[in-house]
Amino acid sequence: FRQAGWGYTANGGLSWTFPGVIEPGIFRSDPVLAANTQGAFFYNSLTANNGDFWCNVFKSIDGGASWDGGVYAYGGDKQWMAVDLTNGIGRDNMYAYWTSYYTCPGCAGHFPVFLIVLAAIPVSHSLVRWLEDSISAAFIDKLRSVRRF
């Protein structure tokens, strides 16, 4: 039975504290960790219940010593998350991706490319330009219609 345990250090790794798990008794898998330019850490994790799969993202603003209660982040199997660390309009936007297999309840067909922007600001033109150079036009059309929250 997998759970989301964590540890943190206050002395550069000389010693570590392991407080336990983020949500005791809750199955967690496919961990992804990212940080923003403000120094906050974000932990994206898959969970499942009765054949339904979804993700939650948890935030720590104290170097990982404590974590908030998390937010529902849609998601599904093989999710990934990244934070825009550039100085562009998308700075600190969080982006999440997951496969269409084993996805969150109600997500199939709702997120055509299963890419969401975890911020309220629109996808920057520079990101779309980079994607146009890197990925198919059909993918870009779907990206432009993706849900933001």
pLDDT tens, position by position, 125-148: 444 444 444 444 555 455 555 544
Residue 117 has pLDDT above 70, yes or no: no
- Hey, how many other C-beta atoms are within 10 angstroms of the C-beta on 108? 12
**Non-local CB neighbours of 147 within 8 Å, separated by 6+ positions:** 110, 111, 116
Strands, DSSP E only, in 1-149? 5-8, 17-21, 29-35, 41-49, 52-60, 71-72, 80-83, 94-97, 115-117
Q: How confident is the model at residue 60 (pLDDT cuts 50, 70, 90)?
A: very high
Residue 110 has pLDDT above 90, yes or no: no
Q: How confident is the model at residue 96 (pLDDT cuts 50, 70, 90)?
A: confident
Least confident of 32-36, 46-50, 58-62, 134-138: 134-138
- Alpha-carbon Rg for the chain in angstroms: 16
Percent of the chain scoring above 70 in pLDDT: 67
Please report the pLDDT score of residue 24 as a whole number.
92
Span 4-29, pLDDT tens digits: 999 998 998 899 999 999 999 999 98
Are 73 and 56 spatial neighbours (Cβ–Cβ below 8 Å)? yes
Structure-block tokens of residue 135: 């990925």
